[in-house]
């Protein structure tokens, strides 16, 4: 009799543990429809790629401990893929075509499924061709659990605003790649950063300039590409009318640009940096 009671007791405990484990591992599903679209950021209509009809791609929000289930429907005429930048996950879910998976072919669906093993601000993007450059990038927000011992009241519970900064050029990305390989001065001319022969002679580096040009080594720059527009959440400006002066918010900033380094300023004073690259920092 005692053994039977013990057996029943152990079964009840096992069931309770299983139910707790299942509740902790909530499945959060997103459906992403990848389609060709046309955009006009500069007065010229150009091809881009939108996901669920928007650029950048939808912000996906999870809580540490969730299971992400992401269904990708490829409605393009070319293959695609999605890579989760900086996430710790099973290698087969990493989203690199011909390495960790086969490409998602036109007219097919692929399901990514992986545990959310961390928290922080991250981003995701296409890992196929140059699709990232024409719209396939977006933000991923991985929240802490409220019972996390590192949960910071007044920081981790603030209203969150995802901010994806990026750039846009009317040039076809494949043409940009060819221009970079050809090492022309065209982008430097557009940015007004061309190194002149007169300047090289004045500084005593005329021979160096000639040698570098012979080697097709252009003058160094932070970004080698000239962009027509810079975007904030897919727009040239953004209004947050739901907030008023004095409100405190947390900006989850992701650089979805292809090659641009951004310097951010706030007209109301200094930012308080509370995290960097998905990790908490001392404010």
Q: What is the pLDDT of residues 205-226, one digit of tens each?
A: 888 878 877 776 666 555 788 8
Give the pair of three-digit tokens for residue 166.
């990026």
Separation between Cα atoms, residue 167 and residue 133, nearest integer Å:
8
> What does the pLDDT read at residue 276?
95
Give the pair of three-digit tokens for residue 280.
């908490």
93-138 pLDDT, tens per residue?
A: 999 999 999 999 999 999 999 999 999 999 999 999 999 999 999 9
Separation between Cα atoms, residue 68 and residue 201, nearest integer Å:
59
- B/e letters for 164-179, b = 16+ CB within 10 Å, e = fewer, are bbbbbbebebeebeee
> Minimal CA–CA distance to 42: which of 151, 138, 155, 170?
170
Largest CA distance in the chain: 100
- B/e letters for 237-250, b = 16+ CB within 10 Å, e = fewer, are eeeeeeeeeeeeeb
Decide: residue 66, CB within 10 A, 0-12 exposed, 13-18 middle, 19+ buried: buried
Evaluated on CA atoms 163, 169, 170, 176, the torsion sign reads negative
CA distances from 175 to 21, 37, 77, 170 (A): 51, 19, 20, 10
- B/e letters for 196-227, b = 16+ CB within 10 Å, e = fewer, are eeeebeeeeeeeebeebbeeeebeeeeeebbb
> What does the pLDDT read at residue 187?
80
Across-strand partners of 81?
Answer: none
Separation between Cα atoms, residue 229 and residue 16, nearest integer Å:
55
> What does the pLDDT read at residue 17?
41
Separation between Cα atoms, residue 206 and residue 272, nearest integer Å:
46
> What does the pLDDT read at residue 44?
96
Residue 260 CA to its chain's centroid (Å): 13
> What does the pLDDT read at residue 7?
52
Give the pair of three-digit tokens for residue 167.
């750039």
- Tens of pLDDT along the chain (283 residues) come to 444 554 544 444 444 344 434 445 799 999 999 999 999 999 999 999 999 999 999 999 999 999 999 999 999 999 999 999 999 999 999 999 999 999 999 999 999 999 999 999 999 999 999 999 999 999 999 999 999 999 999 999 999 999 999 999 999 999 998 888 777 777 877 777 777 778 888 888 888 878 877 776 666 555 788 899 999 999 988 888 888 888 899 999 999 999 999 998 888 888 899 999 999 999 8
Q: Identify the helix (H) or strand (E) that includes residue 18.
A: helix 2-24
DSSP strand pairing (275-276 vs 279-280): antiparallel
Structural domains of the chain sorted by starting position, each given as residue range(s) with its CATH number in brackets: 25-146 (2.60.40.420), 173-214 (no CATH)
């Amino acid at each position: 009799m005692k053994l039977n009671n013990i057996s029943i007791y152990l079964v009840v405990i096992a069931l309770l543990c299983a139910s707790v484990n299942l509740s902790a591992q909530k499945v959060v599903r997103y459906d992403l429809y990848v389609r060709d679209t046309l955009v006009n950021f500069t007065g010229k209509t150009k091809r881009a790629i939108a996901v669920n009809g928007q650029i950048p791609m939808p912000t996906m929000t999870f809580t540490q401990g969730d299971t992400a289930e992401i269904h990708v429907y490829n409605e393009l005429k070319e293959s695609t893929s999605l890579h989760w930048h900086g996430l710790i996950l099973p290698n087969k879910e990493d989203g690199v075509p011909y390495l960790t998976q086969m490409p998602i072919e036109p007219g097919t669906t692929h399901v990514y499924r992986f545990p959310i093993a961390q928290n922080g601000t991250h981003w995701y993007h296409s890992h196929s061709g140059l699709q990232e450059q024409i719209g396939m990038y977006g933000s991923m927000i991985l929240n802490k659990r409220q019972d996390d011992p590192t949960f910071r009241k007044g920081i981790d519970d603030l209203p969150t605003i995802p901010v994806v900064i990026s750039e846009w050029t009317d040039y076809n990305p494949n043409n940009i790649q060819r221009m970079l390989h050809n090492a022309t001065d065209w982008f430097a001319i557009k940015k007004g950063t061309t190194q002149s022969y007169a300047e090289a002679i004045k500084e005593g580096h005329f021979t160096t300039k000639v040698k570098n040009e012979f080697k097709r080594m252009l003058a160094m720059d932070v970004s080698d590409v000239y962009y027509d527009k810079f975007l904030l959440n897919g727009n040239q400006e953004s209004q947050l009318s739901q907030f008023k002066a004095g409100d405190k918010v947390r900006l989850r900033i992701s650089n979805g640009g292809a090659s641009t380094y951004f310097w951010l300023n706030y007209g109301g004073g200094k930012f308080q940096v509370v995290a960097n690259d998905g990790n908490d920092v001392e404010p």
